[in-house]
Amino acid sequence: MAEREPIGVIGTGYVGLVTAAGFAELGSDVYCIDIDAGKIERLKQGEIPIYEPGLTEMIARNRERMHFSTDIQDALDNARLLFVAVGTPPTYSGDADLSAVHAVVGAMPASDRHALVMKSTVPCGTGKNIKRLFEEQGKSGFRYVSCPEFLKEGSAIDDFLQPDRVVVGDDGDWAGDAVVELYRPLLTAEHGGEGPGELVRTDIASAEMVKLAANAFLATKISFINEIANVCEETGADVLEVAKGMGLDSRIGPKFLQPGIGFGGSCFPKDVTALKQLAGNSGYHFQLLNSVIEVNELQKRRVIGKLEKHLGPLVGKRIALLGLAFKPNTDDMREASSLVLSARLQAAGALVSAFDPIAEDEARKLIQGVRFAEDALDALTDADALVLVTEWDEFRTLDWTQVARLMAGTTVIDGRNALDPDAVRGAGLTYEGIGRG
Ligand SMILES: NC(=O)C1=CN([C@@H]2O[C@H](COP(=O)(O)OP(=O)(O)OC[C@H]3O[C@@H](n4cnc5c(N)ncnc54)[C@H](O)[C@@H]3O)[C@@H](O)[C@H]2O)C=CC1
Ligand SMILES: O=C(O)[C@H]1O[C@H](OP(=O)(O)OP(=O)(O)OC[C@H]2O[C@@H](n3ccc(=O)[nH]c3=O)[C@H](O)[C@@H]2O)[C@H](O)[C@@H](O)[C@@H]1O
């Protein structure tokens, strides 16, 4: 293997760890930095603090190339490129909170041999502001590259190794060239690689906007199909047939047309709001995004109406939630629909039990008043209704006859259209999905 450039990665969360492991897999030495000393200690011991399929194995495979520290100097001493993957959570106003990014910027020394490579999702204009800050702090030699990340939790390793595209926004200097070189093996043959990734090399502001626009568009697609599902419920159409018929149009495409009980996660809700705020701060009223957000909020609450339709008032009713994470194959609970749902159900007087195969520890930090069950069957024992919140594979294969025996009532609300309606109905249960009879 040709010698690969060592890199630093600042922030060892979902994006930082996957980026670090991915580049280590491609042959780089990677210097991982985090301010969370506990996390760094666990990583040093070979313990992976998040659940992401394949990540533990990938880090183990590349253990000798991955170095963990709380001291940013370790990265500065050993690497020119410092990938920034710190959190950019929403503030109360909905703008992105850039305090962690600014802490990193402030910690950089005056240097003309280093570059910050921004992986964190930041508002368009952040790169320009950081370059101005570097000037003001006498660090004008420090280069800056925007390299937004498009991975999805649950399939992050594949997304890293087989990207649709790699976006590099820079000033046309050595730093941008070096980032492209790092990604070279993942790019198409046209760009000298052997992967599927198209290269989009552009200016910094455009790269920043690609990320926000892509997330906002995907979220729009979901809210759109959720509204179509709601109309289907009124008109007798089956939204799955409708989505199939729509998705076969190559201009529309089949992906992200799965109706459900709303999108969650650490990014869509935050990034759609941040883009709306960014537009507003720049003097433009981004009308469409208001609706995308509102539809998503209402979609989570529609489950309550469905339950009331079957059970009447929910006071004293036992409701089992299957799945709590914002999507399957992750332990991430940020903005999960289950948070709103469990709170609304309890406000309506229901007694809630819940089970998630992986996210329970995270869920316990955020959800109060719910009985956390041992497994799915324990959660639904004596329940008047069951709601599928997260489509973990193990819920698809439940023995519905056994479920029917254990439940007190018969209502099954399939919040992700993931169950087989015939199998559920065949066991004598009442099935209701999203946007289908
Ligand atoms: N989670 C995802 O699927 C994706 C996230 N993104 C973006 O990537 C960024 C990171 O997201 P996640 O990895 O989910 O966040 P995370 O919250 O999992 O990880 C962030 C890490 O940064 C560390 N950190 C905070 N301040 C620091 C500092 N000053 N120095 C060193 N470390 C510091 C934290 O301790 C934490 O370990 C966000 O901007 C997010 O929007 C982009 C694409 C996908
Ligand atoms: O910026 C980010 O953090 C990432 O956000 C999303 O990835 P992620 O949030 O990990 O997961 P998705 O698979 O996109 O799902 C997000 C939410 O939308 C919901 N969803 C997704 C697809 C769909 O058709 N319908 C639907 O309701 C999921 O259940 C989930 O709650 C994007 O897909 C990534 O490209 C992006 O990098």
For the chain, give every domain's residue range.
7-202, 240-432
Q: 110-120 pLDDT, tens per residue?
A: 999 999 999 99
Minimum CA distance residue for ligand 2 atom 30: 263
Minimum CA distance residue for ligand 2 atom 35: 150
Q: For a ligand 1 pocket test, name from 9, 10, 12, 14 the mutation site with the most ligand atoms within 8 angstroms of its C-beta.
A: 14
- Does 144 score more than 90 pLDDT? yes
Q: How far is CA 167 from the centre of its chain?
A: 19
Residue 335: the pLDDT is: 93
Alpha-carbon distance of 205 to 28, in angstroms, equals 28
Q: Which CATH number among 3.40.800.20, 2.60.120.260, 3.40.50.720, 3.40.640.10 corresponds to the domain 7-202?
A: 3.40.50.720
Residue 1: the pLDDT is: 53
> Quick check: is 267 catalytic?
yes
Q: Assign 94 a pLDDT band (cuts: 50, 70, 90).
A: confident
Alpha-carbon distance of 119 to 85, in angstroms, equals 5
Query: What ligand 2 atom has the least distance to the C-alpha of 221?
Result: 24
- Where are any strands of DSSP class E within 234-382? 318-322, 351-355, 371-372
Catalytic-role residue among 124, 147, 232, 267: 267
Q: 237-292 pLDDT, tens per residue?
A: 999 999 999 999 999 999 999 999 999 999 999 999 999 999 999 999 999 999 99
The structure tokens listed for 210 are: 């690609």
The CATH class given to the 240-432 domain equals: alpha beta
Alpha-carbon distance of 211 to 123, in angstroms, equals 9
From the list 321, 269, 263, 246, the residue with the least C-alpha distance to 89 is 269
Domains 7-202 and 240-432 share a fold: yes
Query: Model ipTM?
Result: 0.98
Query: What ligand 2 atom has the least distance to the C-alpha of 257?
Result: 24
The answer to whether 319 and 411 have CB atoms below 8 angstroms apart is: no
- Does 2 score more than 80 pLDDT? no
Minimum CA distance residue for ligand 2 atom 29: 327
Q: 41-84 pLDDT, tens per residue?
A: 999 999 999 999 999 999 999 999 999 999 999 999 999 999 99
- Does 99 score more than 60 pLDDT? yes
User: Does 198 show up as a binding residue in the annotation?
Assistant: no
Nearest listed ligand to the Cα of residue 435: 2
Q: What is the mean pLDDT of the chain?
A: 97
Nearest listed ligand to the Cα of residue 325: 2
